[in-house]
Amino acid sequence: MIILEGRHCDDVKLEVSIIDDDANENDDEGGEDGTETENDDNEEDDEPNRIKLQKINAKQWDLVISRAQLKDAGDYKCSINGLVDVNIVRPKPLLFPFEEFQHDNYKSANLVEGDRFSLRCALIEGYGKASLEWLTYDEYEEPNELTLKKINESDPRISINYTSAHESYFTIDSVKPQDRSYYVCKSENEITTFNHTILLRVKDKYAALWPFLGIVAEVLILSIVIFVYEKRKVKPDFDEIDHNRNGEG
């Protein structure tokens, strides 16, 4: 199995060997003339010389694809003297970034409680067929088979909609603090996977109000302290006046 990492890759070599003790290593009749290759999915190539079949010996042949491209993906079948071997070549199922949060480097989304949270997950055109799946894991966990879990759609606020086999939307209509987690869109084909991950942070909708209320409380307490102090300061003056009057009498 071979994975194509991008639109233009290095050379790809598919090896086919005969494991047969009875094979005659000196028999050239089972060489290139007795070997057939076929790709069920490959398109017409503008550069047919990019793909060559090389005979290494009577038991081994290499199919070399020079400057491999996405269109080279497919199932390569090699038939040697009636024996058939299949090599699978697939592109890595790359996804578009979460474009809604491109200014945050796609790594985190900072929302206020009650905001709407929506992500689009789509396979980039030309990267073959793949299935899409939405997963989640807690902020302080490492992503693995035990921590990654499917998103709970039983919550009426949460929905996952597939517009096509290669495009899906995940939405939380009104986020809550308990929604703070990592959210993952994973694409998977026969031989490999790819994913995009984002951390959702949810702020208390009254977060901006608490500092203001704190300042108001401080001013109020300070005013009360000053009022009490001034009142206690004035009271002895009246007592002194009454004492002086009594002395004169």
- In sequence order, what are the residues at sequence separation of 6 or more whose Cβ sits closer than 8 angstroms to the Cβ of residue 226? none
* pLDDT of residue 159 exceeding 90: yes
Domain boundaries of the chain, sorted by first residue: 2-91, 102-203, 209-249
Percent of the chain surpassing pLDDT 70: 74
Residue 248, burial from CB neighbour count under 10 angstroms (0-12, 13-18, 19+):
exposed
Question: What is the reported pLDDT for 61?
Answer: 79
- Beta-strand relationship, 167-172 and 158-164: antiparallel
> Average of pLDDT values for 147-172?
93
* pLDDT of residue 40 exceeding 90: no
Q: May I ask the CATH class of domain 102-203?
A: mainly beta
Average pLDDT over the chain, rounded to an integer: 78
pTM of structure: 0.68
The CATH superfamily of 2-91 is Immunoglobulins (2.60.40.10)
pLDDT band for 91, please (50, 70, 90 cuts): confident
E-only strand ranges, 178-231: 181-188, 193-203
More confident residue, 28 or 232: 232
- In sequence order, what are the residues at sequence separation of 6 or more whose Cβ sits closer than 8 angstroms to the Cβ of residue 69? 4, 7, 8, 9
pLDDT band for 220, please (50, 70, 90 cuts): confident
CATH topology identical between 2-91 and 102-203: yes
Per-residue model confidence as pLDDT tens digits over 117-131: 999 999 998 888 899
* pLDDT of residue 29 exceeding 60: no
pLDDT band for 239, please (50, 70, 90 cuts): low
